[in-house]
Each structure stands twice: as structure tokens, then as C-alpha cells.
């Protein structure tokens, strides 16, 4: 993509109402623009990152055996009355009445709707286990939306729902998603720590939040330091015995949000293993048994011929929130530093002298070759000064910059800069093409 044809409205000044790093950088780098309190338009650069995050989430959900569908954003109030949550949910729910005086709501979550879908078509234990998910916009009318996409009112979320015959099978489903979450966040370059957490309005007994450590995190978290060093489970961890082994080790190490923190248990850890930090929640999973299946009459016929209420769980990932969390965890004074898997473009080509024929020719040749090789390139072909181009490239945070100017080309060299480390290397345009073309 040529920058001269791309829509990238950068801001030189930081908006006064942006309180945290991710909000400031998302506005300055042209990722989002606010439409109203807690509601944002996703501009082209931000939308590209959002879709990359969404695709990683989708791939790991599919790998874990979940099946994708798509539910509507508007829901019937009657379903929520069946579960007993319509009045209990509170003012965060946006309630709507249509022209026929039917009570509707803009979905903050989908337990009721998915249970209704399930009960209308699944009748036998032979159709279990089942895990259904979608990636859909949600709305929660926060009393004080703040921190940009970190605490907005409208947000993109992946929510999955498992249905099992008994508590043992439901626990296996829970931990299968637990492992899928660890893999998902690791693929985005994030170190996530699962922590026991309150269930809140979702309900249930077993619940974990997945926390990314960041100084600007919304809550205090406490954990065993070894959890920070544990790698995500490999792709080969997929059978039940492997899951149990993985979970037994991780759950033996202390980790809790401040709501579930046990000071005595934490202090019993060796001093060097106690870790307290700020964290950002990027995912939350729940095993809530028959909380929704009983009031909504979601039953299947078991092996002995009797009907049983299914055991359920739900599993959420804040897709749009993840974008802010990644920036909070990966930035410097100059701007964003995108992990390669979620970067909006793979690299930038910076033409330092757009009106020089040799420089122009080298840039065009490299741009064409990289694009043909499947590399997603942002080519800065504008007439801006080099300093302006350097600042813009650092601000938007693409992993690599290929810097091309007449002085280097006199030696048949271009400069290759790694955005994360700042390391610079001189090489021929041919060597750069060969190097990056083989990264696909």
C-alpha cells in the first residue's frame, strides 16, 4: 500500500482527554477516532490490527474444537427474563423498545441466546460435547467509559459456550479452553497469567481471568513468579491426560486478582517467588454448571434414557481490548512497537528523496518485489521530509523499516531498521528482498 493513497490521519499533539499510553498512541497513530463516549470508529490501520487479532483468536478456537456461528447484537428481553438476569443485570444493559412495543436489549453477553439455540435442536447426549462461539460486537453502558478501548461501551468480543453431559466433561471443556487461551495470547506476543477470579454477573463457581502485566493495568494482581516464565502449552497438548498434567502444575502455583487474593497464602510463598503487579484483563472463562440450563430448560436425554440438564461454561476474549493491551505492553517513547503477528503491515519502505530518479527506482523495484512475494508493505512515497517520515514510522510501530536514500544507493546499500531493538543494518536492496521475501 502506498502511503500517498492510504488513509492515515496522524496527530502531532496528544489529545488532552487520553489518560493512558494505549489511548494516546491509538489516537496519534490514526487507529481510532471517538464518535461518542466509549464508542470509536476503527480507522484503516486500527482495523487491520483488529482483524489480525480476530484471526488468531479464531484459529485457536477452531483448534480447540469450537465451532463458529454468528448471533445478532439485539436480543429479546424474554430470554433474559427466563434466566432471571433481565432485572438483575443493572444499568449497564442498554434496553430498547421496538415499534411494536417489544422489549429488546443490545447484548452485553450471549448466555441466554446460545442456550435458546441449543435447546431447540440438541436433544441427545450423543450430540455432546459441543462448543459454539462467535466474534461479535457487544455493548455495556459503562457509567464512566475511559482509557479508550480498554474500557469502552461498544467492544468486539469473542464469546464461546460449552455444553456437556456431566461436571467431569464440563471441567475438561473448561481446561481445553484454558490452554487455547494461553496459546492465543502467546501468539500475539503477550505473556498472560491465568488467575482465579470472581464470576460477577455471569455466575458459576470456577472462573479465571487472563491477565497481561502492565504498569497501567486496571487492577492489582498477585502470583507466583514462576508463572511469568512458564511457556504456553504446545500444539501437541490436546488430549485429556495432557490437559490434566498442564493444569495441575499451573494451578498449584498461587495466582489471584485482588478480589480473590489470600494474603496468608501469598505470604507463605518464598520471598523471591512473590510477585505483585498491575494487570490488564484480556480474557475471562467461567464454568457455571446448570445456572442457565435449569431455568431455561436445556436438557438432553442421557445414556440411561432420562433427561438431564446440561453443564455449561462460557469463555470470553476482548478482541478490541487486546489491541490496547498489546500497546500497553509494547511501546516506547517514540510510539507503538507491534509484535509481528499482529502488525498492520509487515514493514515500511521509507523513500528519503522522492524526487530523485535512482531512489525512486530502487523503492519501486523493492516495493514490487516484496509485494509479489506476499509481504504486506506500507510504502511511504510522500513528499514529506525524512525526519517527518522517521517519526511517523516509529509512531505507527511496524516491525521493520527499509530506509532508502541517494547516499546509501551510491554504495548499493539501504538501511534496515528493527523497530523493537533499534538495531540497524546496511545491505543491498537485493539482499533485503531475499531476506524478507523468505519470511512469508
Instruction: Report how far residue 324's alpha carbon sits from residue 342's, in angstroms, rounded to the nearest whole number.
Output: 12
At residue 306, the pLDDT reads 97
At residue 189, the pLDDT reads 93
- Phi, psi (deg, nearest 5) at residue 116: -65, -45
Same domain, 29 and 166: yes
Last residue of a domain, one of 336, 371, 387: 336
Residues ≥6 apart with Cβ < 8 Å to 434: none
Strand segments, DSSP code E, in 202-310 are 206-213, 219-224, 255-257, 274-289, 299-301, 307-309
Look up the domain containing 193 and give its range: 3-336
Asked if 184 and 52 count as a contact pair (C-beta separation under 8 A), the reply is: no
Same domain, 259 and 363: no
Asked if 139 and 154 count as a contact pair (C-beta separation under 8 A), the reply is: yes
Same domain, 39 and 59: yes
- H-helix segments, 64-132: 77-83, 111-119
Same domain, 190 and 67: yes
Same domain, 331 and 366: no
* Nearest residue to 195 via CA among 212, 183, 180: 212
Same domain, 320 and 425: no
**Per-residue model confidence as pLDDT tens digits over 354-369:** 999 999 999 999 999 9
**Per-residue model confidence as pLDDT tens digits over 188-209:** 999 899 988 776 655 556 889 9
* C-alpha cell read off for 22: 494505549
Instruction: Report how far residue 29's alpha carbon sits from residue 348's, in angstroms, rounded to the nearest whole number.
Output: 15
Same domain, 247 and 351: no
Same domain, 281 and 167: yes
The radius of gyration of the chain from alpha carbons, rounded to an integer in Å, stands at 25
Asked if 151 and 320 count as a contact pair (C-beta separation under 8 A), the reply is: no
At residue 182, the pLDDT reads 94
Length of the chain: 440
Half-sphere exposure of 217 (CA within 13 A, CB side): 21
Cis peptide before 129 (omega within 30 of 0): yes
At residue 24, the pLDDT reads 95
Please give the mean pLDDT across all residues of the chain.
93
For the domain that residue 412 is a member of, what is the CATH number?
3.40.50.800
| Residue 295 CA: distances (Å) to CA of 45, 118, 127, 325, 397 | 44, 14, 21, 37, 50
Same domain, 26 and 112: yes
**Per-residue model confidence as pLDDT tens digits over 298-348:** 999 999 999 999 999 999 999 999 999 999 999 999 999 999 999 999 999
Instruction: Report how far residue 415's alpha carbon sits from residue 413's, in angstroms, rounded to the nearest whole number.
Output: 7
At residue 16, the pLDDT reads 81
Same domain, 303 and 360: no
Same domain, 359 and 259: no
Asked if 152 and 71 count as a contact pair (C-beta separation under 8 A), the reply is: no
Asked if 159 and 145 count as a contact pair (C-beta separation under 8 A), the reply is: no
Please list the rounded mean pLDDT of every run of 10 residues in the chain (440 residues): 97 86 96 95 98 98 96 96 92 94 95 97 97 97 88 95 96 92 94 80 73 84 91 74 76 88 93 92 94 96 97 97 95 97 98 95 97 97 97 98 97 97 96 85
Instruction: Report how far residue 320's alpha carbon sits from residue 299's, in angstroms, rounded to the nearest whole number.
Output: 34
For the domain that residue 279 is a member of, what is the CATH number?
3.30.930.10
Instruction: Characterise 226 by phi-psi region: left (phi > 0), alpha (psi -120 to 50), beta (else).
Output: alpha
Cα–Cα–Cα angle for 171, 176, 181, rounded to 5 degrees = 125
> Total structural domains in the chain?
2
Q: How are beta strands 307-309 and 299-301 bridged, if at all?
A: antiparallel
Same domain, 331 and 350: no
| Residue 248 CA: distances (Å) to CA of 197, 237, 244, 329 | 18, 14, 6, 28
Last residue of a domain, one of 307, 336, 365: 336
Our measurement of the distance from residue 423's CA atom to the centroid of its chain's CA atoms, rounded to an integer in Å, reads 28
Last residue of a domain, one of 336, 363, 390: 336
Amino acid at each position: 500500500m502506498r502511503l500517498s493513497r492510504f488513509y492515515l490521519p496522524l496527530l502531532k499533539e496528544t489529545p488532552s482527554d487520553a489518560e493512558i499510553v494505549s489511548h494516546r498512541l491509538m489516537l496519534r497513530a490514526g487507529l481510532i477516532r471517538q464518535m461518542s463516549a466509549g464508542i470509536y470508529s476503527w480507522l484503516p490501520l486500527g482495523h487491520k490490527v483488529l482483524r489480525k487479532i480476530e484471526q488468531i483468536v479464531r484459529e485457536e478456537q477452531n483448534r480447540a474444537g469450537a465451532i463458529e456461528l454468528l448471533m445478532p447484537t439485539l436480543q429479546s428481553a424474554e430470554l433474559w427474563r427466563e434466566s432471571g438476569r433481565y432485572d438483575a443485570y443493572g444499568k449497564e444493559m442498554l434496553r430498547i423498545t421496538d415499534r411494536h412495543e417489544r422489549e429488546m436489549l443490545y447484548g452485553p453477553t450471549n448466555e441466554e441466546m446460545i442456550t435458546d439455540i441449543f435447546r431447540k435442536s440438541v436433544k441427545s447426549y450423543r450430540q455432546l460435547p459441543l462448543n459454539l462461539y462467535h466474534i461479535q460486537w457487544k455493548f455495556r453502558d459503562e457509567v464512566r467509559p475511559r482509557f479508550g478501548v480498554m474500557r469502552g461501551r461498544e467492544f468486539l468480543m469473542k464469546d464461546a459456550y460449552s455444553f456437556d453431559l456431566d461436571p467431569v466433561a464440563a471441567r475438561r471443556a473448561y481446561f481445553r479452553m484454558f490452554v487455547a487461551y494461553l496459546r492465543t495470547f502467546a501468539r500475539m506476543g503477550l505473556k498472560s497469567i491465568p488467575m482465579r477470579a470472581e464470576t460477577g454477573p455471569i455466575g458459576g463457581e470456577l472462573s479465571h481471568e487472563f491477565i497481561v502485566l502492565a504498569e497501567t493495568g486496571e487492577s492489582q494482581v498477585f502470583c507466583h513468579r514462576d508463572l511469568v516464565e512458564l511457556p504456553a502449552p504446545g500444539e501437541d497438548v490436546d488430549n485429556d491426560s495432557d490437559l490434566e498434567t498442564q493444569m495441575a502444575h499451573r494451578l498449584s502455583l498461587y495466582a489471584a486478582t485482588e478480589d480473590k487474593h489470600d494474603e496468608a497464602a501469598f505470604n507463605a510463598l518464598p520471598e523471591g517467588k512473590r510477585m505483585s503487579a498491575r494487570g490488564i484483563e484480556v480474557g475471562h472463562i467461567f464454568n457455571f454448571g446448570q445456572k442457565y440450563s435449569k431455568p431455561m430448560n436445556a436438557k438432553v436425554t442421557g445414556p440411561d434414557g432420562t433427561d438431564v440438564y446440561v453443564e455449561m461454561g462460557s469463555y470470553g476474549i476482548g478482541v478490541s481490548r487486546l489491541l490496547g493491551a498489546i500497546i500497553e505492553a509494547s511501546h516506547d517513547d517514540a510510539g507503538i512497537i507491534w509484535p509481528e503477528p499482529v502488525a498492520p503491515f509487515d514493514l515500511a519502505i521509507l523513500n528519503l528523496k522522492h524526487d530523485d530518479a535512482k531512489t525512486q527506482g530502487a523503492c519501486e523495484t523493492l516495493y514490487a518485489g516484496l509485494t509479489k512475494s506476499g509481504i504486506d508493505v506500507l510504502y511511504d512515497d510522500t513528499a514529506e521530509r525524512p525526519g517527518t517520515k522517521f517519526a511517523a514510522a516509529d509512531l505507527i510501530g511496524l516491525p521493520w523499516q527499509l530506509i532508502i536514500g541517494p547516499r546509501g544507493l551510491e554504495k548499493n546499500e539501504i538501511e534496515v531498521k528493527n523497530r523493537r531493538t533499534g538495531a540497524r543494518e546496511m545491505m543491498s536492496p537485493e539482499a533485503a528482498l531475499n531476506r524478507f521475501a523468505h519470511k512469508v
